[in-house]
Structure 1
Amino acid sequence: MENLQGLSLLLLGALASTLLPPGVQSGKILVFPMDGSHWVNMNLLVQSLHARGHEMTVVRTATSWYVKESAAHYRSITVTLPQAIDIEEEDFFVNFLKKMLEIKKQGSSVITFGKFYWEMMTGLYNIHQKASMLAVEMFNNQTLMKELRDAQYDLVLIDPGLPVGVLIAHELKLPTVYNVRWITSGEGHFVVAPSPWSYVPTSGYAVPDKMTFRQRAMNIFYYILNTCVDEFVVCPPYNRLVDRYFGPDVNFYHLLQGADIWLMRVDFDFEFPRPTMPNIIYIGGFQCKPSKPLPPDLEEFVQSSGEHGFILMSLGTLVRGLPVEITSEIAAAFAQIPQKVIWKHVGERPKNLANNTLLVDWMPQNDLLGHPKIKAFVAHGGTNGIYEAIYHGVPVLGLPLLFDQFENVLRLETRGAAKVVDAARISSQNFLEAVKEVLENPSYRTNMKQLSDLHLDKPMHPLDTAIFWTEFVMRHKGASHLRTQSYKMPWFSYYSVDVLCFVLAVLLLLVGTVVGSLRFLCLRLCRRSKTKQE
């Protein structure tokens, strides 16, 4: 009997070890996040790793907007900068958006394009110039650097949109994991995976993967433009840091590309198909979860919508308010529909606001999107909101404002799950027509439901996937076997230009030899013939 019990316990132990993911003893993780909406999902990853027993240390600046100095699930290192990074100022995005909308209202022309990109590049340069000072303050603080070395961290978890953590990780000689979609000036795939211009739309160019000849030509133009932006706008402050602290033999871009694992916040039910690499792990929608009951006041408002249901509107965490002339047009359109509207709005109260519209400064977005009475989601196209809409199968009316939002809503529109409205040319009439189309055309909800089914049909929740691969890097002290060395090759070797030139030279030599031989033979024959005739 005892032998049978022992055998049963052994079998149960073997079964448990097979079903459960391999664990890792609690480790120490140093975290370099970005502020705003990026911190929302990074914080979830930090909480989950802390729940697994890991000791989390988050590096923040004294002016950080979202990343708090105290939290139960991490300790913080606060660095004071000479100037606050622009994205940590609450009014930065409001002012930036106003400029962008004013430029877009001027129409499409070379001058407008130039103004738009000048504003973008000026803002980008200022952000990275100030962000690079975080590395200076840390490297120059010998006490802090000694503390970091003595702590013996196992891993550095980085949002590489601001890549200071990449430099610190190199100094500490630690493996790195990126919680990423965007790097310094574009989408992360473009610096780590092959990205053919013919069917992979480049960052900042909102087109589908089935491009016309003109779109493919423009795609190359935008790719070259992004490369120039990286080379002359984004990288210079970090290149100076690398030269200063690591010497001329270290290349900043190689450090940026050399992460062990890229936890990519996209999924191929949303992203267009494209080449990838073995160290890119897809965790799109890892922040999504089933909805919970609403607070009583919101539930009462939602239930008052009756059979018509309600619409949710949110423009995310970065933009705290649209210009009142735009919000008033939106409010006038909402006043003409039977649905109730819950609108996350901070700023001047819109004119024409009707009784069916409830303004709130905060709301449980995930729980509202999972409510059975939800009919549509009016969203700016941020990645977090897009994936929550996909998760719950809610069609989207896209109102893209900045950065990648135009590309995000285009991907949904291409799949028939969203309708897009240009915020710079919005009116109550065209907004009302768009709202009615999303509400009354069942194809939008059907297509979004199909995307939701694809997204949910996975062997493991994306958050569990992220945790597994983070701990994988800790267990194995890196993941170099998954990392290609192609990024260290010079461009002429990467594209085999040197090989093609060699082959061309050999062919030319062969052709030259054959032509020369034939010419020599012909001349010789001609001379013999002439000699005989004489």
Structure 2
Amino acid sequence: MTPFSQNMVSVSLWITVVMLFGSLCDGGKILVVPVEGSHWVNMDILIKALHGQGHSIDVIRTFNSWFVKENSTYYNSITILNTSGMDEEFVEDMLFKMIDYERGKGQMNAIQLYLHVFKAIHKTHEMICQLITNIFESEDILKTLKEKQYDLMLTDPAWGAGILLAHELKLPMVYNVRWTTTGEGHFDIAPSPMSYIPVTGSGNTDKMNFFQRVKNAFSYLLMDIQNSRFNLPLYQSFCDKYFHPRVHYYELLQGADIWLMRVDFVFEFPRPTMPNIIYIGGFQCKPAKALPQDLEDFMQSSGEHGVIIMSLGTFISDLPDDFTAEIAAAFAQLPQKVIWRYTGKRPSTLGNNTLLVDWMPQNDLLGHPKTKAFIAHGGTNGVQEALYHGIPVVGIPFFFDQYDNLLRLQERGGAKILSIATLNKNTLHAAIQEVINEPSYRLSMQRLSHLHRDKPIKPLDSALFWIEFVMRHKGAAHLRTESYKLPWYSYYSVDVAVTLFAVILIFILSIFLAVRYLCVKCCSRKRKTE
């Protein structure tokens, strides 16, 4: 038996033992501080799996939480009164302004739009700081949390409340992460050369020419200014008020024991990483289950042409009427049938081949043999489900990381991106036809699907193992780098470079002065001799 075969047998035996005897960790107490929207969708999957392993989970939520329900069969909620978070109105305002700008119908220019989005993000962080302040100012809540004696903090670091609370409760911390308070998670702890690591929002891939590298560096600088001057100071002010001795929020953010990163390198561009980053991309994906009978009948009625699935994610529930009219008109021209998840006003141009639904089992539809293409906004969950099932994508990105996610699929031949500015019934119809009729799109996505699935351990099983690993060992300090404790000039060895430069300069100057002194002495003796 080859070493590879022996390793595979060992892994298989380990998985079998876990499945037969359950968790390798006694049921523990886990405190969860999540993020709303699609972030909650995948956190919810982790929570369910942990509950199935015998762990007790408490989830902190705002009183008007958009997605985190107060009552659940697999977690206990802790509702913080007098706090508010993101809601549909908050997101819809930003979405409509973005669409109007892209289509040239708004009153905003690019700078005004950027400032509007920046203010919206800043406002979100202000709400999170108010949430954690209300917890710290309530003796009853804080006392109850301390008395619970949790074993672990599981949080999404896109918002900082969980990080601050973990420090106060002295809990080991695991991240369910793609984004942090400052941006894409890798940039906080892993080396990230600007020459081939694209910054989110730059629109670059890992192959950049000179001008793209300039744009990449400028994007990073803009992101750094936004965070270091505006967002991080909100959390640092909280630290200065409540933590003694003084701590730096950014060091708390960097100090998590394990980073469960919601991508893998079938999807993400290759880059440097760290030992405490565990890649669980696609952990929410699973084989398709049978559809409800009405949906199955609709799928089968499509005949040889098949079905197109369209969903714009959890955040986007409504769109401008003229925008949806163009989309519906494009669908009406197709020989395929369409299932469109949309809760807004019914478009006037909707064809008989299109089924509007408030909700749909997206994973199961993507795994159905009749599905030909997926029209998506580019959220991480959706594109990874398409990748898992090998379904080509027509992407319509709106904001945040959506364009970057779709760009990764497009670079690998599995997607075609349409901008909001150019989208109409003709461009959308042409893009759908291209993706369906050009075999390379489906072949590329099927190849990516095979690569993604070819793993010794399922991503969700890996996530559960590492969460329980941290619980068993009270942390994972041996995997954490100490680099985040270094000042920037030490991290980049600027102090070493300056010292070496100074030594070399002194050495050269000493030689120059010595030679000059000898020359002067020689000339002086020569004049005396003459």
Indicate the TM-score class for this superposition, using the shorter chain for normalisation. over 0.9
- What TM-score comes out, normalization by structure 1 length? 0.94
Report the Cα distance in structure 1 between the residues aligned to 2:377 and 2:231, rounded to whole angstroms.
26
Moved over 4 A (4+): 15-19
- 2:317: which partner in 1? 320
**CA distances 1:158-188 after superposition (whole Å, capped 9, x unpaired):** 0111110111110010100000101114111
Contact 1:103 1:115 in 2 (8 A): no
Contact 1:315 1:379 in 2 (8 A): yes
**CA distances 1:60-79 after superposition (whole Å, capped 9, x unpaired):** 11100111111110111000
**CA distances 1:9-61 after superposition (whole Å, capped 9, x unpaired):** xxxxxx97795357011100000011111111101100100100000111111
- 2:66: which partner in 1? 65
Pair 1:105 & 2:103 matched: yes
Q: Secondary structure at the match of 1:262?
A: strand
Aligned partner of 2:496 among 487, 493, 499:
499
- 1:90: which partner in 2? 88
Report the Cα distance in structure 1 between the residues aligned to 2:82 and 2:182, rounded to whole angstroms.
22
Question: Partner amino acid for 1:481?
Answer: H
- What TM-score comes out, normalization by structure 2 length? 0.95
Pair 1:436 & 2:433 matched: yes
- 1:513: which partner in 2? 510
Aligned partner of 1:165 among 162, 185, 189:
162
- 1:411: which partner in 2? 408
- 2:177: which partner in 1? 180
Contact 1:121 1:233 in 2 (8 A): no
Contact 1:288 1:388 in 2 (8 A): yes
Pair 1:48 & 2:49 matched: yes
Question: Partner amino acid for 1:97?
Answer: L
Q: Secondary structure at the match of 2:180?
A: coil
Report the Cα distance in structure 2 between the residues aligned to 1:347 and 1:246, rounded to whole angstroms.
46
Pair 1:204 & 2:222 matched: no
CA gap of 1:385–1:18, structure 2 versus 1, over 3 A, is closer
- Residues matched between the structures, number: 514
- 1:117: which partner in 2? 114
- 2:31: which partner in 1? 30
Question: Partner amino acid for 1:99?
Answer: K
Q: Secondary structure at the match of 1:425?
A: coil
Report the Cα distance in structure 2 between the residues aligned to 1:357 and 1:206, rounded to whole angstroms.
33
- 1:253: how far off? 0.8
Question: Partner amino acid for 1:381?
Answer: G
**CA distances 1:333-371 after superposition (whole Å, capped 9, x unpaired):** 111110001000111111211111111111110010000
Report the Cα distance in structure 2 between the residues aligned to 1:185 and 1:304, rounded to whole angstroms.
48
- 1:79: which partner in 2? 80
Report the Cα distance in structure 2 between the residues aligned to 1:386 and 1:469, rounded to whole angstroms.
25
- 2:146: which partner in 1? 149
Contact 1:124 1:233 in 2 (8 A): no
Report the Cα distance in structure 2 between the residues aligned to 1:510 and 1:172, rounded to whole angstroms.
54
Aligned partner of 1:128 among 125, 130, 134:
125
Q: Secondary structure at the match of 1:91?
A: helix
- 1:521: how far off? 1.9
- 2:395: which partner in 1? 398
Question: Partner amino acid for 2:49?
Answer: S
- 1:256: how far off? 0.8
Alignment of 1:270-419 (within 5 A): 270-419=267-416
Report the Cα distance in structure 2 between the residues aligned to 1:163 and 1:318, rounded to whole angstroms.
21
Contact 1:313 1:379 in 2 (8 A): yes
Question: Partner amino acid for 1:134?
Answer: L
Report the Cα distance in structure 2 between the residues aligned to 1:262 and 1:203, rounded to whole angstroms.
19
Contact 2:239 2:246 in 1 (8 A): no
CA gap of 1:470–1:18, structure 2 versus 1, over 3 A, is closer
Q: CA RMSD in A?
A: 1.6
**Identical residues among aligned pairs (%):** 54
Aligned partner of 2:417 among 413, 417, 420:
420
- 1:6: which partner in 2? none
